[in-house]
């Protein structure tokens, strides 16, 4: 009796997981289509570049979270592995930030105007 009960519970859990996997698969497919459409919308002039950028990157983050949370079982394992994952994300973001001042900000308008060199010939 109890064995049958366990089997029924396990089957229900498996069915639930199968449903979750399939839902995530459909969601990932729809999100991919959304990012593609957002890119096309910029070309057609329906939305601005910045709006499209936010949509596309936002969709990518949501897709990555869905894959990690459901497919990679972080829903169950996050509490056991978060201390391995979180520092890497902090370091990754820091790595990009430390290069920003020299490479990105230096080119912004008005920050460092680039003047052509002054000619040294014919001054006398």
Location of structure tokens 């829903």 = 75
Among 8, 9, 72, 75, indicate the residue that binds other proteins (CB under 8 A): 72
Q: Applying CB under 8 A, does 115 fall inside the site for other proteins?
A: yes
- Give the span between the Cα atoms of 109 and 55, in whole angstroms: 27
| Comparison of 8 and 100: residue with beta carbon closer to other proteins | 100
The footprint of other proteins on this chain (CB under 8 A) covers a number of residues equal to 52
Location of structure tokens 């920050």 = 111
Quote the Cα angle for 40-42-43, to 5°. Answer: 65
Under rule CB under 8 A, which residues in 23-62 are in contact with other proteins?
24-25, 28-29, 32-33, 35-36, 38-40, 52-53, 56-57, 59-60
């Amino acid at each position: 009796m109890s064995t049958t009960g366990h089997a029924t519970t396990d089957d229900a859990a498996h069915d639930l997981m199968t449903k979750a996997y399939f839902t995530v698969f459909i969601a990932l497919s729809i999100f991919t289509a959304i990012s593609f459409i957002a890119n096309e919308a910029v070309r057609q002039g329906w939305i601005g570049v910045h709006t499209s950028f936010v949509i596309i990157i936002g969709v990518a983050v949501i897709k990555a979270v869905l894959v990690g949370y459901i497919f990679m079982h972080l829903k169950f394992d996050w509490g056991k592995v978060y201390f391995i994952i979180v520092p890497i994300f902090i370091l990754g973001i820091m790595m990009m930030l430390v290069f920003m001042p020299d490479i990105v900000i230096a080119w912004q308008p008005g920050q460092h105007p680039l003047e052509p060199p002054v000619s040294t010939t014919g001054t006398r």
